[in-house]
Structure 1
């Protein structure tokens, strides 16, 4: 059927189509794609993928990895217009080789005044720019976008990098009805193939194609041809308390294991941990820096050098590096590492600072070892086999007696044994240059908690007058220290903003310094209460730990990762004088998460003219599996409700 006849057919019948009838298993535009205006599978969606297809193979003429992609997207409303902005990332190696994109074809289809319009992307509206030293991006925006539009676009990427076989993301930030990825891998290349995200494939088929690739001198290879399909894939919606979404997106990844040459010789790309350990020991960059000796007398004071208590000495060395060298914000760990440059400039990257710490400790006969890790935003490292490109951070572990401490000297607010929150990413690889490396848990060595003690009296002029004492430990303290010591006025403004219709007086932060493990503050507060018809309604929560429930999704399929377990404690003692009578108190509430993984309690007691309110929240785990989500959501609903809606009703006697 010609294109003109097809359009006439669509126009003649389009008004009879009103229900959803998307063509989800073909790239072709159909009447149902254009006329359907809703998406019942997800009523919150602004756009969704009707169909997408990818095909990766080795071109028989130039032996380059070729990947063809096609996408068909439905725009439901204006909030979905950003799906028309397409960005293609291309990899460039240091040696000058690069990926290229070609055959970009993009079209927008609309139904308008009884007609079907197709608007093609013009070549002059395709832009190319340098993204960073190893990446170029190609960008374009599909034209003439409206609510109801259907977008189609496709392109071909040619790559000389067989070690970077293209993966495929079945899941994205909008829902997908159908996603298919075909691959053809010649037997010369052997990959680790990893399915991430925990979602099931609707199709997972593989078969052998004989002599799919012929090379010179009569050489040939068979190919493994695979088809992977997922259907009805929900959007991945990011929510608080999680690591990077790349840990949980449904996708397939490839890591080159070996390459077999035509002469049958084998090159290993994925090595054993034993082989990687050996390479790092002899590495001319990071390996040499870790072995580099340092002159203690040139850097450390005689008091530190002569200290005989190993723990005190380790703390003094840590404090020296922490206060004398500034982190430049660079995460590089395998290159641009130089202790000499760090000492001279007083500034350097993560590796330089923590390797200097490592070397000073070892030179002082304190057992220190490097730990390689991947930060929370960088993703989980591969556990089954070594992939050094997974790692972007280095810390030091020191062992004194039977106790070990994880150390990072890049932040002056960290305490001895505390690592930055960004490093709390489950596991790190401890490298022992005498023995084999091993996995260790990246766990905080101290508890995180906030304690608030509020003692108040109700005066005859309907004023609440008293004092608040606060103590924070662990990561709660770290956050407050950074705010307080970087800008004390800002910290005080935050407190004043917390207390509406109140006056904050005599603020103190006693005995605090930047690397104290705890943070303490106290202040006086005068809070004006309103008398309504002879009644005073007092919410006893002058400080609220959670202003709203952070968990809002109908379903969350990835874990809730707080990074650390923690505790919140609030105690208010209220003394009312004889001029007042208590008519109503907050109801007691208690709730426990399954398997004793968390709890909260609200308890109110009245003894004479004194009211004692106790509120305590415990998160006993740093990490909760997705099946806890509904419980956590209800848990937080009750906590927020208790803080916002608890009332003490008081009247004049």
Structure 2
């Protein structure tokens, strides 16, 4: 399969020093900003970020973060993202934790020409536990109106110095002023990962005396940033907005006296009596491979083969074909163990606990799967990756902190097959969609090898309608919707989660005509199918002795989702290439014949990446219309968007044709 994989460019930049611009000076709140009723360049914008700053700095072996955000609200009903905020803090297994040290929240309104402030009461702020590692502090602004300015300031103290969290520079609304500052003692070395097309108008990298010591400071200032809107068919828009992330690559503490030890597992710096000197951290993927194999929560767990020696039934172990045996091991693991919903690259409670409780995180589930496969004489190896929500891994920007998922893999004749037991619905190479994130790394005891993590085969959707037209203009018939491969897995999992909601969202809210006998489930071949019977009087219009209708009936869509009018900024991400086949057969009543039957037609892009066929067949009083839409690959560069738009415009026009049934 010819996959068009997006090439992201992460740039470690060398920046010049600019003049007298002063960073970290919060502008005075301006009455004129409160008087504004709309954003001047685009009155449809719901909000505008007036000022935002992230200031990271390290003192006494701890990371400090000060955040200030000031946002003008033009349309409060459309700006909910900016009115309900969340601050996440992390706690490691050894009880190192981040703490919010201050939080101030205000809403500003103009009353009688003067600025009036409304503070958020302490009782309106609350903290909850999201999972074993993260807590979240939530708050909502009070007394917000169209025209208000909302502002918050908070500080966080953290022992975790390895990865400085990624900060997004661009947002879905315009930003007037944005600053990012990172001050770090000179004996820490950090990689600067700058991603995106936006350039700062002021930037500085310099060595200075700060906080009573020698520091290196990184400073970036931006102004008048255009909105970067969400786009359809993008799995994670933050992969393409401009962002900054720092990651520790080395320390070089003084040789004399005490020093500080960095714990790569927790990201914390601990006071010790160790001698100083240069030490490198995770500079290459080989270094990261070495670290995870030395970790008790990964490498040591993979050594525990004795845990699984009596788990597999002999009928699985005796399967002669390697691929069939691997698929059987996957099914065994799926039947015995359940994912607890936590993404992780390392075990939490360990494989022994998973075997006992039958529940574990993604690392525990798939590391156990690897041990089971090895027990069945299969050469299984772990694949580590970053899920869609965390961001895309690249070969040239090694990051232990980005890893949060494990898969099992087996090399069959030079081609890797991937296995994921976190879902009951997966199969070989059909893995959880959250893991389909471009790249991962096969981590063996001796090497780290980058591989593609994309769905290798197309999914097929079969939409079939068999209908009879009655003399009174009503239609009766049956409908089936069958999906294969990844689509089957996704629909099956969604249905299994909430059967009623699945049928409501996919059919009952889409089709407003009467139907009955709805059924959904997995077929014998592993496809997922929904079917129902229907009886409707809304598909045909009567004109004299003629009935006019669209031969695709309710499978005709008046619009499509490749309708973006602004220039496309992100790639087109579809999870999987696909074929979508519609087949509608119409049977006329006795004494009727067809007129104005549409003609067959097909069109495609020059490279056959997108293809469409409209085929019409008539046999007596039966008319069959078959359409096939083919999209070859799961990912396309943004330059393909005009081709998608043009093709689907033509599809909509082609499928809008009608046919006439005439009484003889």
Provide closer, same or farther for how the CA distance between residues 235 and 437 of structure 1 changes in structure 2, counting only shifts above 3 A: same
Provide closer, same or farther for how the CA distance between residues 328 and 69 of structure 1 changes in structure 2, counting only shifts above 3 A: closer
The correspondence for 2:550, drawn from 534, 539, 542, is 539
Tell me, in whole angstroms, the C-alpha distance in 2 between the residues paired with 1:179 and 1:631: 36
The correspondence for 2:243, drawn from 237, 251, 265, is 251
Structure with the higher fraction of residues in helix conformation: 1
1:294, distance to aligned residue in structure 2 (A): 4.2
- Residue 518 (structure 1) aligns with: 527
Tell me, in whole angstroms, the C-alpha distance in 1 between the residues paired with 2:51 and 2:453: 41
| Greater CA drift, 416-425 or 287-296 | 287-296
User: Aligned runs of 1:231-310 on 2, under 5 Å?
Assistant: 231-263=223-255, 265-294=277-306, 298-310=310-322
Question: TM-score when scaled to structure 1?
Answer: 0.81
- SS of equivalent to 2:555: coil
Provide closer, same or farther for how the CA distance between residues 552 and 324 of structure 1 changes in structure 2, counting only shifts above 3 A: same
1:600, distance to aligned residue in structure 2 (A): 2.5
Provide closer, same or farther for how the CA distance between residues 532 and 459 of structure 1 changes in structure 2, counting only shifts above 3 A: closer
1:436, distance to aligned residue in structure 2 (A): 0.6
Q: Establish whether residue 178 from structure 1 lines up as the match of residue 170 from structure 2.
A: no
- SS of equivalent to 1:275: helix
1:333, distance to aligned residue in structure 2 (A): 3.7
- SS of equivalent to 1:390: coil
Ranked by relative contact order (alpha carbons within 8 Å, sequence separation 6 or more), the top structure is 2
Tell me, in whole angstroms, the C-alpha distance in 2 between the residues paired with 1:570 and 1:181: 52
The correspondence for 1:560, drawn from 572, 586, 589, is 572
Runs (5+) with no aligned partner, structure 1: 1-24, 215-219
Tell me, in whole angstroms, the C-alpha distance in 1 between the residues paired with 2:606 and 2:40: 33
User: Aligned runs of 1:367-378 on 2, under 5 Å?
Assistant: 367-378=379-390
- SS of equivalent to 2:293: helix
Larger radius of gyration: 1
Provide closer, same or farther for how the CA distance between residues 182 and 400 of structure 1 changes in structure 2, counting only shifts above 3 A: closer
Question: TM-score when scaled to structure 2?
Answer: 0.80
The correspondence for 2:451, drawn from 418, 425, 440, is 440
- Residue 196 (structure 2) aligns with: 197
| Greater CA drift, 562-571 or 75-84 | 75-84
- Residue 422 (structure 2) aligns with: 410
Contact kept? 1:449, 1:472, Cα under 8 Å: yes
- SS of equivalent to 1:274: helix
Runs (5+) with no aligned partner, structure 2: 1-24, 256-275
- SS of equivalent to 2:368: helix
1:320, distance to aligned residue in structure 2 (A): 2.0
Tell me, in whole angstroms, the C-alpha distance in 2 between the residues paired with 1:232 and 1:421: 36
- Residue 393 (structure 1) aligns with: 405
Contact kept? 2:163, 2:401, Cα under 8 Å: no
Contact kept? 2:346, 2:364, Cα under 8 Å: no
1:614, distance to aligned residue in structure 2 (A): 2.5
Q: Establish whether residue 119 from structure 1 lines up as the match of residue 117 from structure 2.
A: yes
- Residue 146 (structure 2) aligns with: 147
Provide closer, same or farther for how the CA distance between residues 151 and 613 of structure 1 changes in structure 2, counting only shifts above 3 A: same
1:626, distance to aligned residue in structure 2 (A): 2.5
1:338, distance to aligned residue in structure 2 (A): 3.3
| Greater CA drift, 380-389 or 613-622 | 380-389
Q: Establish whether residue 549 from structure 1 lines up as the match of residue 560 from structure 2.
A: yes
Provide closer, same or farther for how the CA distance between residues 640 and 63 of structure 1 changes in structure 2, counting only shifts above 3 A: same
1:231, distance to aligned residue in structure 2 (A): 2.7
Provide closer, same or farther for how the CA distance between residues 95 and 262 of structure 1 changes in structure 2, counting only shifts above 3 A: farther
What whole-Å deviation, never above 9, does each CA across 1:520-574 have from its counterpart, x for those lacking one?
5766655546552323222222453867533555434222211111110112333
Provide closer, same or farther for how the CA distance between residues 36 and 612 of structure 1 changes in structure 2, counting only shifts above 3 A: same
- Residue 71 (structure 1) aligns with: 69
- SS of equivalent to 1:389: coil
- Residue 230 (structure 1) aligns with: 222
- Residue 352 (structure 1) aligns with: 364
- Residue 637 (structure 2) aligns with: 625
Contact kept? 1:27, 1:72, Cα under 8 Å: no
Contact kept? 1:119, 1:143, Cα under 8 Å: no
- SS of equivalent to 1:596: coil
Report how many residues are paired. 613
Provide closer, same or farther for how the CA distance between residues 351 and 26 of structure 1 changes in structure 2, counting only shifts above 3 A: closer
Q: Establish whether residue 43 from structure 1 lines up as the match of residue 43 from structure 2.
A: yes
- SS of equivalent to 1:388: coil
- SS of equivalent to 2:29: coil
1:155, distance to aligned residue in structure 2 (A): 4.6
Tell me, in whole angstroms, the C-alpha distance in 2 between the residues paired with 1:352 and 1:575: 56
Tell me, in whole angstroms, the C-alpha distance in 2 between the residues paired with 1:491 and 1:98: 39
| Greater CA drift, 464-473 or 361-370 | 464-473
